[in-house]
Amino acid sequence: MLDADFFRRWMTVTAASVEREAERLTALDSPIGDADHGSNLQRGFTAVAATLEKEAPDTPGAVLTVAGRQLISTVGGASGPLYGTLLRRTGKALGDAGEVGEEQLAEALRAGVEAVMTLGGAAPGDKTMIDTLVPAVDALGTGFAAARTAAEQGALATTPLQARKGRASYLGERSIGHQDPGATSAALLIAALAEAAGE
């Protein structure tokens, strides 16, 4: 069973990972976006880690709700609302339980991903974070390591796609050949989940 400490660890590992990869995320964002994806997410997840240290929510759902709220208030552009919605909706779906199982987490994450799809209007194949999150959630039933592999493959698979949503969609065919930064950062989030679980 996964408790609040596990979810705090997930967010802390994510913050460290985003910090480590911020320059790469910004480099990916440079040709097809605003060249600020890495710095924006770094600011957001640094704030999340600091807030969770101060507030120490005591249920898995509360940890993710606080994290999501923090991202929405500190991250500019589209990533703040999208990541914030993902975590808040997942947290809401987990409810007030003190501990949750892997299956509950998978179902809650699916609700979070669906909320992101509704907010951003994106579907699989549109070259967004959805291309990472949908296969990751589908694989989560098999385990955290399987979810990480599916997420990484999903991010790589955005390279040959033409963007149909977000800033990159303005480039039309010129977006082809670039790995999507949002899909890449979403893969970091899932990889951090696997790392937090010791997989």
What pLDDT is recorded for position 77? 82
Consecutive 10-residue averages of pLDDT for the chain (199 residues): 97 98 95 91 97 95 98 91 98 97 96 97 96 98 97 98 91 93 98 97
Phi, psi of 191 (to 5 degrees): -65, -35
CA distances from 96 to 25, 137, 153 (A): 34, 22, 33
Phi, psi of 96 (to 5 degrees): -100, 10
Cβ-contact 90, 62 below 8 angstroms: no
What pLDDT is recorded for position 167? 85
> Which of 51, 77, 58 minimizes the C-alpha distance to 68?
51
